Structure 1
Amino acid sequence: MDWNNHLEKEKENFSGSGDATILVNESGIISFANQRVYENFGYSNHELIGEKLLNLMPGANLQASGEGEIIHQFGIHKDGHAFSLFFRMNAFSLEKEIHYLVVFHKVKDQSRLNQNQSYPINELVDIMYAIDESTIVAFTDEKGKIKSFNKKFCEVSKYSASELLGKDHRIINSGHHSKQFMQNLWRTISAGSVWQGEVKNRAKDGTYYWVDTTIVPFLNEMGKPYKYLAIRKEITEYKRVVKELKKSVHKLVDFQFALDASSIVAITDQKGTIKYVNDQFCRISKFSKEELIGQNHRIINSGFHSREFFNDLWKMISSGNVWKGEIKNMTKDGTYYWVDTTIVPFLDEHNKPYQYLAIRHEVTNRKIAEEEIQKMTGKIIDVQEDERKRLSRELHDGIGQNLYSHLITINRLQAEMSHPLLDQMRDEATEIIEELRHLSWELRPSVLDDLGLFPAIRSYLVRFSEHHHIRVHFDCYLNCRLYTNKEITIYRIIQEALTNIRKYAHTQEARVTISEIDEEIRVVIEDKGKGFDIEKVTRGVGLFSMEERARAAGGNLSIHSVEERGTKVFLEIPL
């Protein structure tokens, strides 16, 4: 009976069919499934990704299955019922890992699911029907002329039956393969051997499609082929997936190479146990991979950071957020190094981290340079303050005293004689003395050295309010005197902040608060004035000086301002 006619008759006797495609890795984990899979097994889209193929097809052994071999199997629907199916498998290697493309189709006659499997003719009908539904089938004569074919051939090639009948397969030649490729194919089958391979064809509308092809020669009594059966399975999607996978793998390899060449990389599990380190990690830490794998990062803990520092880090990443910061570590030989670190959590379907990727860049030289700059800045500030102190005393005790003596002399002359020039000299001398006192105070108030920060700030605020007509509210909650450098830092930052308020805030009031909180001195200078947009304002010398002074004292300075709502300057210095 003609192949096509036979299948058409059998289609009338059975109802329902389907096929599907699943991509799994060597461990049998599903990485791709098309829509037919979800329809046949009753799952929602993407629900099967990451599941085991054995959950759908218990007993399926891909490693033991022959390439292209059609195998009968039972599938398990999501609701628990079993159904009969046939599958064929194609294996391929990608970046040294084996993947399997599994194509299956349900048996049409499900009524025989639980019957004795001793009806080979019925099974053959089911197989023939399944092949016709999912596979391109064609017979040619010994010269390659197409003699019969199934509907799937027309569907995929987009040619009608009349256009295909009597033609050879050059009608769908894509020009992709070389002449030698086709000659080898023909040489194989004309010698009576089966040929298998992948062929790129072209449809009538000019689109291309790939087919996994098996050509079987039928031999006469002389052992010569008198016709050929070509069975093809369209694998265009499979080829696209493989191509995209290769591109993705190549990109990942490139990314990994770039990371390994420039960064310190480590991967840990959800508990922080190291699962992978690159060569850069070993080079900088001086530990071997064997010494690091299975450990956690306490193996390189320098002891520099507090327990709270790492608690905050762990809290951040375990909640699924990326953490960035600088960490001081210790190598195997006891030397220290700094790393600029980014830790990225990888989340599972429940948004819980199942592993962490830590990418680090060594910044030891930069940190050393920053420490040296900070030390140098501190020394410059100390020298500057010493010079201010010297100039202040010279103005007050030297020039100031001389002017005061001149004022006494002028007063004596006025007691003996009256003259307008004496009155003018007295007024000018008094004015100069007052200016010198103010300048001496600005340079370095003696009360700061003699009595401490609180009296010095209070005295300064009184003078500031009198001169500039800005009322400053002052609250101080210090329990003891601070180190001289901290007191000077606080005094200068308050002085600079109030100068900025006087120049730019356009307000009549301000507030200064000094408090001691958790082993830390916190200073807040605020106003309700004009405010400004921090992103748009150029950082001047005053702000730079404030930040450097804070940094030199081991503290931190921050500014918050909103247009028309005022400005707050925050200074935090450890006790």
Structure 2
Amino acid sequence: MKFMDRIKTGTIVISLSGEIQSVNDRARVMFGDPVAEEAGMGIGELLPGFDIQKMEEENILFQTGSHRDGHVIPLYIKIHSFMLHDELYYMLELWERKGEKNEIEKHLKELADLKFALDESAIVAITDRRGIISYVNDKFCQVSKYSAQELLGSDHRLINSGCHSKEFMRNLWKTILKGNVWRGELKNKAKDGTYYWVDTTIVPFLDENGKPYQFLAIRYEITEHKQVVEELKNSIQELVDLKFALDESSIVAITDARGKITYVNDLFCKISQYSREELIGKNHRIINSNYHSHEFFKQLWQTISSGKVWKGEIRNRAKDGTYYWVDTTIVPFLDENGKPYQYLAIRFEITDKKRVEKELQHMMTRLLDVQEEERKRLSRNLHDGVGQNLYGHLITINRMRSKVEHPLLDQMQEEVSELIEEVRDISWELRPSVLDDLGLVPAIRSFLTRFAENYQIAVSFDCSLSGSRLGFEKETTIYRVIQESLTNVRKYACVDEASVSIRGWEDGLRVVISDEGCGFGADHQKSGVGLFSMEERARSVGGKLKVRSAAGQGTTVVLELPMVPGTPI
């Protein structure tokens, strides 16, 4: 509040024509008591030369008044207009200029304080109406990196960055030359060539004719703000581009913490055959194919509700009842407490891939069956054909030796015996007849006995299987996994002991082959052909194979096979 506002004022109300309508007590005292409110008395009698048309509302004017006794009264006058009964009236506020020096000093002190505050917080410059700089504060020099001497007498082209168009600058000048305030953001160039942004207000100072005679520019540096805004714009644009790319290539859905769908993209609607309206507000049970177990989804929710990303393959059902597979990644969005408040699911359709995998799996199973049949045929041919012929030759040689003694007969007898043993070993490796004739357990026991004799590795065997047969494919898979695992033990483990166990496990069967030998790292584990063969055999009968090994910590191979409920094991 200025000092004049703190002084009790006199008030006079006049009409549009200048006739006095009312005068308050303070005004009566100013002009000499009493001041008659006579009809037709004009304001000019109290304020000689006063012209209401030249007054602007809220502006303060210096005016002299005429006291009743004839002396002159120095006054400040402020005018306000108002409507009453559809007539325009003016109220004049009047202050006597008593003690003017002290009041002016106070006012100047206020102005000095305001200037100090402005200089501390803002970049300030004053130019004449041609734009020539006549004043700059320290902050202007600090930001522009020009000295006051370099700036004074120049115009603002000295710091022009060239980033704004001619139309932009023309608009600015049109505004302020009309006496209007201009506000906007400007990019300027400092003396060292660096750029800086300023939030600018340019205020024209007007002469008695309403024409600008100088301009006050108040600026606040916003370079960091502009950089942040620019970075945000770039980030938002990147996000828009990423969303576009994601929507074009992926099936996208967002759900709340309870799993209720809040967003789906067009690709989700297209592949699920549901409209967006049918999906929003529902949960993913609407596309549940019932292919996966309750435990599968329980584990999924446990993962994401704990704030971890879940990845896997899911079979869904479209609106028309057809099935489709999706490779799915579910990402939880966490609040400030680390709790998920929504989930983003990104899916890629892999129906064709799963179909090809199924066909390959069927083909692999068929190849394994054909391989075993061929092994069985070769084994039988070797045993019943070549083996029997060699055995016949051995009998003949033995008969000849009983009648004739000759070193060649002894040599032939020895060589034929070795050949018979080799054929028997090859036949056994291809497929032991005991596996087909007597079953899995006798075949394993026979194999372990031969393995121990040939390689001096003792293998303990623990089995809970009954005498029931498990079927050609499952028995072959179990036998081959044990055979391949122990072959690896013989080649790489550097041990003289190992163990094999076969146990019932929930609705399935678990086979464990372990040793405490050298073990191996993950790279060797991934590259092994034998491991690939075991995994394919396990998959061919719907089972799973797991290998746990580390250098110096031994190896454990676990085969898990599903069994039909009620199968005696």
Same fold (TM over 0.5): yes
Tell me the SS of whatever aligns to 1:284.
helix
- Superposed, 1:448-463 pairs within 5 Å as 448-463=435-450
Q: CA deviation at 1:544?
A: 2.6
Counterpart of 1:380 in structure 2: which amino acid? L
**Residue in 2 that maps onto 1:38:** none
1:273 equivalent to 2:260? Answer: yes
Q: Equivalents in 2 of 1:178, 1:539: separation in Å?
A: 65
Structure 1 267/201 Cα, relative in aligned 2: closer, same or farther at 3 Å?
same
**Residue in 1 that maps onto 2:246:** 259
Tell me the SS of whatever aligns to 1:535.
helix
Q: Select 2:523's aligned residue among 519, 530, 535.
A: 535
Q: CA deviation at 1:305?
A: 0.7
The C-alpha deviation readout for 1:54-93, integer Å capped at 9, x for no partner, is xxxxxxxxxxxxxxxxxxxxxxxxxxxxxxxxxxxxxxxx
Over the matched positions of the two proteins, sequence identity in percent amounts to: 66
Q: Select 2:416's aligned residue among 429, 448, 452.
A: 429
The C-alpha deviation readout for 1:421-450, integer Å capped at 9, x for no partner, is 444443333333333222222222222123
Q: Select 2:213's aligned residue among 226, 244, 269.
A: 226
Structure 1 128/352 Cα, relative in aligned 2: closer, same or farther at 3 Å?
farther
Q: CA deviation at 1:191?
A: 2.7
Q: Equivalents in 2 of 1:295, 1:470: separation in Å?
A: 61
Q: Select 2:349's aligned residue among 362, 378, 399.
A: 362
**Residue in 2 that maps onto 1:139:** 126
Q: CA deviation at 1:185?
A: 2.0
Q: Equivalents in 1 of 2:432, 2:157: separation in Å?
A: 101
Counterpart of 1:171 in structure 2: which amino acid? L
- Superposed, 1:276-425 pairs within 5 Å as 276-425=263-412
Q: Equivalents in 1 of 2:528, 2:193: separation in Å?
A: 68
Q: CA deviation at 1:269?
A: 1.1
Q: Equivalents in 2 of 1:531, 1:261: separation in Å?
A: 47
Q: Equivalents in 2 of 1:389, 1:174: separation in Å?
A: 88
What is the RMSD of the two structures over their aligned residues, measured on CA atoms?
A: 2.8
Q: Equivalents in 2 of 1:346, 1:519: separation in Å?
A: 38
Q: CA deviation at 1:150?
A: 4.6
Q: Equivalents in 2 of 1:410, 1:160: separation in Å?
A: 121
**Residue in 1 that maps onto 2:504:** 516
- Superposed, 1:172-251 pairs within 5 Å as 172-251=159-238
C-alpha contact 2:525 2:531 (8 A) present in aligned 1:
no
Q: CA deviation at 1:285?
A: 1.1
Q: Equivalents in 2 of 1:233, 1:294: separation in Å?
A: 48
Q: CA deviation at 1:418?
A: 4.3
The C-alpha deviation readout for 1:254-311, integer Å capped at 9, x for no partner, is 1111111111111111111111111111111111111111111111111111111111
TM-score, with structure 2 as normaliser: 0.74
Q: CA deviation at 1:179?
A: 3.6
**Residue in 2 that maps onto 1:100:** none
The C-alpha deviation readout for 1:212-255, integer Å capped at 9, x for no partner, is 22223233333322222323232222211211111101111111
Q: CA deviation at 1:127?
A: 7.8
Counterpart of 1:309 in structure 2: which amino acid? F
Q: CA deviation at 1:500?
A: 2.2
Counterpart of 2:308 in structure 1: which amino acid? N
Q: CA deviation at 1:341?
A: 0.9
Q: Equivalents in 2 of 1:122, 1:368: separation in Å?
A: 88
1:500 equivalent to 2:488? Answer: yes
The C-alpha deviation readout for 1:343-390, integer Å capped at 9, x for no partner, is 111111111111111111111111111111110111111111112222
Q: CA deviation at 1:538?
A: 7.6
The C-alpha deviation readout for 1:105-162, integer Å capped at 9, x for no partner, is xxxxxxxxxxxxxxx9999999877655433333322222334455543443344555
**Residue in 2 that maps onto 1:84:** none
C-alpha contact 2:434 2:442 (8 A) present in aligned 1:
yes
TM-score, with structure 1 as normaliser: 0.73
Q: Select 1:484's aligned residue among 467, 472, 490.
A: 472
Tell me the SS of whatever aligns to 1:516.
strand
Bigger drift between 322-331 and 390-399 goes to: 390-399
Counterpart of 1:489 in structure 2: which amino acid? T
**Residue in 2 that maps onto 1:10:** none
Counterpart of 2:260 in structure 1: which amino acid? T
Structure 1 482/129 Cα, relative in aligned 2: closer, same or farther at 3 Å?
farther
Counterpart of 2:507 in structure 1: which amino acid? E
Count of matched residue pairs: 457
Q: CA deviation at 1:477?
A: 2.4
1:569 equivalent to 2:557? Answer: yes
Q: Equivalents in 2 of 1:168, 1:539: separation in Å?
A: 76
Q: CA deviation at 1:519?
A: 1.9
Tell me the SS of whatever aligns to 1:387.
helix
C-alpha contact 2:288 2:316 (8 A) present in aligned 1:
yes
Bigger drift between 518-527 and 334-343 goes to: 518-527
Q: CA deviation at 1:333?
A: 0.8
Tell me the SS of whatever aligns to 2:523.
coil
Q: Equivalents in 1 of 2:475, 2:154: separation in Å?
A: 99
C-alpha contact 2:126 2:214 (8 A) present in aligned 1:
yes
Q: Equivalents in 2 of 1:445, 1:227: separation in Å?
A: 110
Tell me the SS of whatever aligns to 2:522.
coil
Structure 1 122/361 Cα, relative in aligned 2: closer, same or farther at 3 Å?
farther
Structure 1 127/523 Cα, relative in aligned 2: closer, same or farther at 3 Å?
farther
Q: CA deviation at 1:339?
A: 1.0
Q: Equivalents in 2 of 1:122, 1:300: separation in Å?
A: 77
Structure 1 127/330 Cα, relative in aligned 2: closer, same or farther at 3 Å?
farther
